[in-house]
A and B are shown apart, each in its own frame.
Chain A
Amino acid sequence: MARKRGRGMAASWYGIARTATVDRAAAWAEIDDGGSAKVVTGVTEIGEGILTVLAQIAAQEMGVKPEHVVIGDNDTARAPEAAHAGATRQTYMIGSAVALASREAKKRLVEVMAAIWDVPADTIHTGNGEIWAENTNHRISMGEAVHRAKGKGVVPVGSATFGTDTTGIADGKGGDGSGRPWQAYVFGAQVAEVEVDTVTGEVQVLGVWAAHDVGRAVNPQGVEGQIEGGVVQALGQGLMEDYQLDKGRTTTPGFAKYILPTSLDVPRVNSIIVEEPDPIGPLGVKGIGEPAMVPTIPAIMNAIYDAVGVRITALPATPEKVLAAIREKEKREAQMQAAE
């Protein structure tokens, strides 16, 4: 058989939010006219779907629909600081800030309605664009409630900041690296199934199973999207991508020479979402952007070993490299046989 299959696995861990400094993010929220909602925060979308995640959080916390949430963002002159879009921090940091700000805005509205309806505030609920009081006939639209609040001189706004209780690590001269760099840790593990062509050395990754603890999946489809994209980026580094330099000058200046995974290279990715809620943040969420990539490469390399008995320790595992390793192994085995 020229083509051999195998499976491998690897585990991983990752810290959520930033390590260099104490992490923090702020947000403003307002239940707006017509029962829409407004959320303002510092940075956001880089493609991962954070706008939708924030809209879901704001909608649930304030009691409106996600499609009625307007997000004002990404402008240092007009939005509160939310630090940067990276480090697997946005759902955890900004999502938590938006949840807390939304709760405060809702509390303002609920207090006004409690006075108007003369019911205890804790019997009032909101959801899906409506506000109502338990065991009463009081039920009106959020738009109507905002109108009434404004008639009492109240704009239902809230603001919040969410920060971490973390430290740097002792990494100065003579330091032992001790410290509390992250507040939340996530764990992930993946299995890869590969087929190795022993004539060409080509490796195809046919399947990946990716199990990741995300705390709480705000949008499972979005979590899958992060896992699928992360696995494929890692596959690119594992098997084909290579930015090469000759005396500091790149010899891979464009996509004709710098090879990226295309639709024909990608495995079927099976996401297994594990939810172990974060005990500290208001939502239990953690993160997935970066962790999704970490176990993929060793899982693939372990699978190549399982298939053909060669261990690739220098990335990427190009067909040339895999083939050379297979030939080397065959030679070694032939020599051993001859010696016996």
Chain B
Amino acid sequence: MPDLQIKATINGRKVARSAKPHQRLLDFLRDDLNLTGNKEGCGAGECGTCSVFVDGVLMKSCLLPVAKAQGTAIETVEGLARGGELSVLQKAFHKAGASQCGYCIPGMVMAATAALRANPFADREEIKERLGGNICRCTGYQKIFDAVELARDVQNGRLPATALSEQEHAEGDFIGKNVRRIDAPSKVSGKLRYAGDMIMPGMLHVQVLRSPHAHARILSIDTSAAEAMDGVEGVITCTDVPGEDGFGVFVHDQPVMARGKVRYVGEAVAAVAAEDPVTARRAVAAIKVVYELLPAVFDAEEAMRSGAPVLHDYAPDNITKHIPIRVGDVEAGFAAADLVLEENYSTQAIEHAYLEPEAGLAYVDHDGVVTVVSPSQNITHHRHMLAKIIAKPISKVSFIMSPVGGGFGGKEDMIYQGMLALLAMKTDRPVRLVFTREESMASTAKRHPSRTTLRMGFTREGRILASHLTMICDGGAYGLSTEGVMRKAAILGAGPYAIPNVRVDTYGIYTNNTPSGAFRSFGALQTQFATESTLDMAAERLGLDPFVIRRINAFQDGGTTHTKQRLGKVSLTRVLDALEQGSGWEQGVPAVRGGARSDLGRSDVRPAVSLGARFAAHDKQEAAE
């Protein structure tokens, strides 16, 4: 198909350029015009990070073929702060602390701008509905709503413009004050460049061949057809790794690209660097891999049975890590208890879903330093590991952490930086890889899914005498952070309570599922979910208020933890008191009090949503008028 000749007005400037017919408006803006303020978060119209105005209408530019831009007037986030001064809404985002990682923020600012253009008097509930097409993973949205309400009030003159300024802090006292975020202006304006927004002269584009199988031996990889293609500058497989091929946060069990066998669907097998992404994709498709399928295991408990398929030779029982905690004698505790409860709990795998999919660049600098620029949460450890992988001294390896568009633990693993370094070394040119959302979902770590059995024994007064917790977690195909997650889950699992008899065992298990790794709250979330649920069941059976049963057992100053560590000052009782008071909690036994409570529906909860109800009422009113 011939190139298109696009004529449009973009941020007030007339643009006439040729474009490829396969391009989306988002590609045209970002790649051809270098307007990288609006981001690609999902490529499917689900997340809203790419939102722009087309003839004044808010549109998701990842869904628009570039041909649709013909003759239109387009406004991107770069168009909002004309002449460098932030718009009222952008200033309000700054003031309200509405940006965290910032990756969703340009799209969010566009959607909020649309909301206030549509209804300058929109209330908080209407604002929520109008922002419903934009996902934010960091903020919990609350400060975004605050920002839009603040901007609305300033625009309407209900608040002075000074409501947007920095407060004065007397005598240089800044700790404890709401100093506005110093990085917010770059985020609300779209000026901050994440790795996927960066370009380097002569840069090649990387694509990765990934395993379609959960467990298979690699019999052969033939890259000759890919290497022969015009525009392909480098193809790598595990044979290109010059040093010790292994990475991981604890055990270095994962090769940069599959070596000998693949262990999960989505595992990297080979990578290509080419002049453009389309050529790189075609080259990836031209790599021929012959696999011999192996029996696979998809369940952690099955993987622990003898005779189960083994993933890693070093761990014939498929156990990545077992962590024990032992205090006293739990059986004696149960024998002495008035009430013993046993329950099974399970939690699912979840995705970090940072709005910024993985992306990175690598180059070999003028001094021969292999440099990787990526949103890595652990540049120090990545540098150590990469030096061994590429067999160079640490002084010849450098990591730069690019702005991180959300991490939550998911960017602690060095899952693609090794490939970038190897391709930069092989081609002697800068290279860049940007994951698609689908690639990010399928190939990167998840929160450990867990199965927990918890048995707790209590006296009739509510004192915990024994806690026996066993958790089995599916760690997936590689170790990543599993060891640490099991450790934290075990140490914190019995909760912040003085318990004379504790037995905890956490197991991280290899399976042929997507690897599990670090995720905010790191195992403590799974085990404490079980303990806190059982505590409420006990409270009901013993006729105690939930706060009361926790106070009875809470660690006190100078208490001893389940790892036999002496604590100093313990703030738990203070925290419980503050919560009980702050929430206006009505004391009582948790025996399905529900609607009979008097503490429901205070002014500090939101109204329940009935989707469309407000619009239905509005329509009725209009009809009546």
Q: A191 to nearest B CB, angstroms?
A: 4
Q: B309 to nearest A CB, angstroms?
A: 12
Q: Which of A116-124, A133-141, A152-160, A180-188 participates in binding chain B?
A: A180-188
| Across-interface contacts of B599 in A (CB, < 8 A) | 7
Interface residue tally of chain A, by bracket?
Answer: 35 or more
Asked if A7 and B528 sit within 8 Å, CB to CB, the answer is no
Find B142's partner among A5, A57, A269, A297 (CB 8 Å cutoff): A269
5 intermolecular pairs with C-beta atoms under 8 Å apart: A12-B496, A43-B380, A204-B609, A213-B574, A263-B141
Q: Is A144 interfacial (CB-CB < 8 Å)?
A: no
| Across-interface contacts of A188 in B (CB, < 8 A) | 575
Asked if A66 and B571 sit within 8 Å, CB to CB, the answer is no
Given contacts A171-B324, A225-B100, contact A306 B593 (CB under 8 A): yes
Asked if B178 and A220 sit within 8 Å, CB to CB, the answer is yes
Find A254's partner among B177, B441, B567, B571 (CB 8 Å cutoff): B441
| Across-interface contacts of B135 in A (CB, < 8 A) | 255, 260, 262
Chain A residue nearest to B576 in the complex (CB): A189
Find A47's partner among B100, B132, B579, B592 (CB 8 Å cutoff): B100
CA distance A256 to B442 in the complex (A): 14
Asked if B404 and A46 sit within 8 Å, CB to CB, the answer is yes
Asked if A7 and B529 sit within 8 Å, CB to CB, the answer is no
CA distance A64 to B182 in the complex (A): 15
Asked if A311 and B537 sit within 8 Å, CB to CB, the answer is yes
Q: Is B165 interfacial (CB-CB < 8 Å)?
A: no
Given contacts A241-B350, A298-B528, contact A49 B100 (CB under 8 A): yes
Chain B residue nearest to A87 in the complex (CB): B522
| Across-interface contacts of B408 in A (CB, < 8 A) | 233
Asked if A289 and B520 sit within 8 Å, CB to CB, the answer is yes
Main secondary structure of the interface of B (DSSP, over half): loop
Q: Is B140 interfacial (CB-CB < 8 Å)?
A: yes
Q: Is A115 interfacial (CB-CB < 8 Å)?
A: no
Q: Is B359 interfacial (CB-CB < 8 Å)?
A: no
> Which residues in window 157-197 of A have CB below 8 A to B?
169, 171, 175-182, 185-191, 193, 195
| Across-interface contacts of A311 in B (CB, < 8 A) | 533, 537
Asked if B176 and A220 sit within 8 Å, CB to CB, the answer is yes
Asked if A82 and B576 sit within 8 Å, CB to CB, the answer is no
Asked if B605 and A268 sit within 8 Å, CB to CB, the answer is yes
Q: Is B291 interfacial (CB-CB < 8 Å)?
A: no
Find B379's partner among A51, A76, A267 (CB 8 Å cutoff): A76
Q: Is A216 interfacial (CB-CB < 8 Å)?
A: yes
Q: Is A34 interfacial (CB-CB < 8 Å)?
A: no
User: What is the 8 Å Cβ interface bit string for chain B, positions 115-154, against chain A (1 contact, 0 not)?
Assistant: 0000000000001110111110111111111000000000
Main secondary structure of the interface of A (DSSP, over half): mixed
| Across-interface contacts of B166 in A (CB, < 8 A) | 67
User: What is the 8 Å Cβ interface bit string for chain A, positions 70-102, against chain B (1 contact, 0 not)?
Assistant: 000111110001111111000000000000000
Q: Is B102 interfacial (CB-CB < 8 Å)?
A: yes
Q: Is A22 interfacial (CB-CB < 8 Å)?
A: no
Given contacts A4-B595, A219-B179, A243-B348, contact A263 B579 (CB under 8 A): no
Q: Is B46 interfacial (CB-CB < 8 Å)?
A: yes
Find A126's partner among B169, B172, B324, B533 (CB 8 Å cutoff): B172
Asked if B407 and A225 sit within 8 Å, CB to CB, the answer is no
CA distance A185 to B557 in the complex (A): 12
Asked if B446 and A243 sit within 8 Å, CB to CB, the answer is yes
Find B441's partner among A69, A252, A291 (CB 8 Å cutoff): A252
Given contacts A9-B546, A85-B407, contact A176 B139 (CB under 8 A): no
User: What is the 8 Å Cβ interface bit string for chain A, positions 296-329, against chain B (1 contact, 0 not)?
Assistant: 0111011001111101011110000000000000
User: What is the 8 Å Cβ interface bit string for chain A, positions 194-206, against chain B (1 contact, 0 not)?
Assistant: 0100000000101
Asked if B348 and A237 sit within 8 Å, CB to CB, the answer is yes
Q: B122 to nearest A CB, angstroms?
A: 13
Q: B408 to nearest A CB, angstroms?
A: 7
Asked if A313 and B345 sit within 8 Å, CB to CB, the answer is yes
User: What is the 8 Å Cβ interface bit string for chain A, positions 242-255, against chain B (1 contact, 0 not)?
Assistant: 11110111101111
| Across-interface contacts of B55 in A (CB, < 8 A) | none
Asked if A55 and B404 sit within 8 Å, CB to CB, the answer is no
Q: Is B59 interfacial (CB-CB < 8 Å)?
A: no
| Across-interface contacts of B348 in A (CB, < 8 A) | 237, 241-244, 315-316
Asked if B350 and A237 sit within 8 Å, CB to CB, the answer is yes
Find B438's partner among A19, A47, A74, A253 (CB 8 Å cutoff): A253
| Across-interface contacts of B569 in A (CB, < 8 A) | 276, 279
Asked if B175 and A216 sit within 8 Å, CB to CB, the answer is yes
Find A290's partner among B100, B369, B397, B520 (CB 8 Å cutoff): B520
